[in-house]
Structure 1
């Protein structure tokens, strides 16, 4: 039977492992890809070009609309025919750039060659910059001072916009903005006026300043993409680690189920020889059938009896755990004072609490009636909860023990700590056998993950409820409530009716009078 159980457990674990393998391979592939990205290879070039393309598509209407506004403003000194031709050139160049960006986004990543696409986008951006630079030479000779200032301001605005949109790829920044900056300088340099020469020099200074700013922006964008790649790689590694831990948990659960089935099956075979050993050793050490010629034999018999008793107690404890898991735990119920049980458990664990400088606060309602419960199970519930609170509460924290009446007339036991808490999505996990929260290994001592499941099972065996409330960095509260039917209410004193008492007294007096006569 043991072999069959092991084979079944191995088959279940193998199936779980096979179910988890595809995501693990996917995580490894994502990890390799993102690691290459953080190494500033072709993946980085692709990400930067993709960011530029998205910027262009998000502002597909902004710069053409600005071109219309500039054309309307330039109508005061430039012929409309020239302005319309210029607008057509700007729209054509912008349409070519947008079409190229859309085609880049639609192309599968595996088919993209970043260097070739960057050359295409640089050519399209250069054409777009030339189309904007042409506005500086539309009837420039007949323009006045206001017209020169208008063109200067308009081109600087367009230069700043193009630098912002193209900042992920600096070669595209230069391809698009150099023609416009050169157009401003050439237009003002050709004018025979020192004021315009100063404006040309100022345009050069402003352009150099913009380039310096864009270099910083480009470095920030590159670092941001690198950090994002590292974050994604870390997430992939965490997911892979979680997948491995899930596989290990499934194997542990299967091993636990196999253990429970094995213990339930072998309990009778283990108890039978132990009972015989205990019985015969008891007879031998008591010398029921006669005294031993050698006194050492009596000592041996006593050692055999004590060892057998210890082994039997150990088997009983292991079987208790398996019975709770299989729903076959038997309660030995009797009147139990909940306050007495909690005080005894606190006394047992007080040294551990004092070692960590923990403060334990008692909030006991006075004169609570007794519960009809299994005293051993109640002690185990309290010890498990208090032990968990001591484990997870950092030094100098506070643990609150509370017992009292519930709103429905029952009684409750509550243990609240100031520990790190449990994330809400991990609460179902910690209530399962061998389940532990993500902070367990960081903030507490080691454990098997059976304390809370056993406590929950014992509470349900007493028709009670188990409630766990926890929030991250705000502590944990576990409350075990017992129903009203478990409370032993004191029986009120029966008061005899006055008339019945008087009749009884009269009857007694008549009987005494008859006895005298």
Structure 2
């Protein structure tokens, strides 16, 4: 039966057939920046400004018609009669044309707006509405009871000009297109020679038009800045959404890859340990000549080498599985009261033979009467053995390893393992703390390890809520410090009074 490979798991982990999104995302961000980071004259920018102008005109749709109605009612009441009603109707009709254009452009999608055509439509509509105000400037009031009618007309035109200047700030030239003709009509309708007050009103209108145009231009700059700030905000939001999408995708892929790794390790650990047990068992039987003499010392040595190599491979598998469980959060702490100094002493005793074979002295410095620690005994023992193993590995013959256990300044407890080996360069400390990371000195050393000891120590210390520090200087040695928080230090129980102890039968 041919071997069939399941593609389902691989597909769930990383689907290589799915196109990578980075290029699409980069293209979308570039397009957004090109659309939003713009200046006047750019078609997209002009479309946005025209949309702003249309919204302003629609938003202020009631002011100018309301002003026209008020003036119409006031003029009719003052005795101007039908001519005022005719003007009011014409002015409202022309203003309605402008509002229709504004509403149409406001409802049109920005991408479909033709900037040049829309700008001409707006200016033409403003000029049409200006015809109504020019008609108002030409009105006379010979039979009405209003004194200084020219002053009233000038004030009304000034109000209309000010309101228009505010609403048309997003479209340059709109104010001039609307009120240039009404100002000329006002001058034409004035009586010559003009009275001083009429001259003052005409001068005021003539000055007000460029002044309000200047104000409108500054308001236009404010609109441009508002659009720019909104564009920058939209760009930032677009980039944040892009980054979030990329982060979610990367997290999803990482979770699937981590799941695949866990499945692989679980499967491979079982598959590797089964033959390893046989290799270790049979090689130990052969090396110890349990079933009788081998007859050849070379074969006996080979059997010992097989057993040693198999044991090394088993330790490597166990370390990989430990690190995998720690990273996956599946390492369960079996917490109980432990004596840190006693565990350190036992660990030093276990490593004493290995250190003595290299001529290394282990010095123990433990503070007396340390209270017990609420922690996982197996995890702390593994921490100590890993640190001592590293120290022995890199300490030269005749060197010294100093193991200290004591109080921290904050009320916690610490373990310190310091050697006088070659040390680690500062730039390599992050490397040796990473999984499978080894420094240059470790690579040159004859006793190379797997690079998993310190990452396992970091993970176990973090699970206890502690801190791990690694200090090293070249040619001065290395010190590894494990700090347990004060919350894990157990308080000493007070001694029971003699009477209570006697009653309890102690």
Q: What's the TM-score bracket when you normalise by the shorter of the two chains?
A: 0.5 to 0.7
How many residues are paired up? 384
2:114 paired with 1:113: yes
Tell me: CA distance 1:10–1:488, structure 2 relative to 1, closer, same or farther (3 Å). Answer: farther
Tell me: CA distance 1:197–1:254, structure 2 relative to 1, closer, same or farther (3 Å). Answer: same
Distance of 2:24 and 2:143 partners within structure 1: 70
Partner of 1:387: none
1:75-224 correspondence runs (5 A): 75=76, 79-139=80-140, 146-188=148-190, 190-224=192-226
Distance of 2:103 and 2:309 partners within structure 1: 82
Partner of 1:376: 379
Distance of 1:85 and 1:130 partners within structure 2: 13
Alpha-carbon shift at residue 218 of structure 1 (Å) = 1.7
Tell me: CA distance 1:309–1:186, structure 2 relative to 1, closer, same or farther (3 Å). Answer: farther
Partner of 2:42: 41
Alpha-carbon shift at residue 454 of structure 1 (Å) = 7.0
Distance of 2:13 and 2:191 partners within structure 1: 83
Alpha-carbon shift at residue 155 of structure 1 (Å) = 1.0
Distance of 2:381 and 2:134 partners within structure 1: 87
Distance of 2:136 and 2:315 partners within structure 1: 98
Q: Is the 8 A contact 1:271 1:312 kept in 2?
A: yes
Distance of 2:4 and 2:331 partners within structure 1: 26
Cα deviations by residue, 1:155-199 (Å, 9 ceiling, x for unpaired): 112111111111111133322232333334444574522443243
TM-score normalized by the length of structure 2: 0.59
Distance of 1:62 and 1:378 partners within structure 2: 83
Distance of 1:163 and 1:378 partners within structure 2: 82
TM-score normalized by the length of structure 1: 0.58
Cα deviations by residue, 1:443-491 (Å, 9 ceiling, x for unpaired): xxxxxxx99x97899689xxxxxxxxxxxxxxxxxx9999xxx999899
Q: Is the 8 A contact 2:98 2:126 kept in 1?
A: yes
Partner of 1:55: 56
1:501-512 correspondence runs (5 A): none
Tell me: CA distance 1:12–1:34, structure 2 relative to 1, closer, same or farther (3 Å). Answer: same
Cα deviations by residue, 1:396-429 (Å, 9 ceiling, x for unpaired): xxxx99889xxxxxxxxxxxxxxxxxxxxxxxxx
Alpha-carbon shift at residue 55 of structure 1 (Å) = 1.0
2:498 paired with 1:495: no
Tell me: CA distance 1:46–1:497, structure 2 relative to 1, closer, same or farther (3 Å). Answer: closer
The unaligned stretches of length 5 or more in structure 2 are 344-368, 384-407, 413-454, 466-484
Tell me: CA distance 1:174–1:252, structure 2 relative to 1, closer, same or farther (3 Å). Answer: same
Distance of 1:98 and 1:15 partners within structure 2: 56
Distance of 1:284 and 1:191 partners within structure 2: 134
Secondary structure of the residue aligned to 1:199 is: helix
Secondary structure of the residue aligned to 2:15 is: helix
1:301-380 correspondence runs (5 A): 311-323=313-325, 329=331, 331=333, 334-336=336-338, 371=374, 373-374=376-377, 376=379
Tell me: CA distance 1:340–1:169, structure 2 relative to 1, closer, same or farther (3 Å). Answer: farther
Partner of 2:258: 256
When the two chains are superposed, the root-mean-square deviation of aligned CA atoms in Å is 5.1
Distance of 1:92 and 1:377 partners within structure 2: 90
Alpha-carbon shift at residue 79 of structure 1 (Å) = 0.7
Distance of 1:102 and 1:456 partners within structure 2: 67
Alpha-carbon shift at residue 265 of structure 1 (Å) = 1.0
Q: Is the 8 A contact 1:370 1:488 kept in 2?
A: no
The unaligned stretches of length 5 or more in structure 1 are 342-365, 381-399, 405-449, 461-478, 502-517
Alpha-carbon shift at residue 114 of structure 1 (Å) = 2.9
Cα deviations by residue, 1:298-317 (Å, 9 ceiling, x for unpaired): 8x999987776555444323
Distance of 2:91 and 2:29 partners within structure 1: 42
Secondary structure of the residue aligned to 1:335 is: strand
Q: Is the 8 A contact 1:77 1:139 kept in 2?
A: no
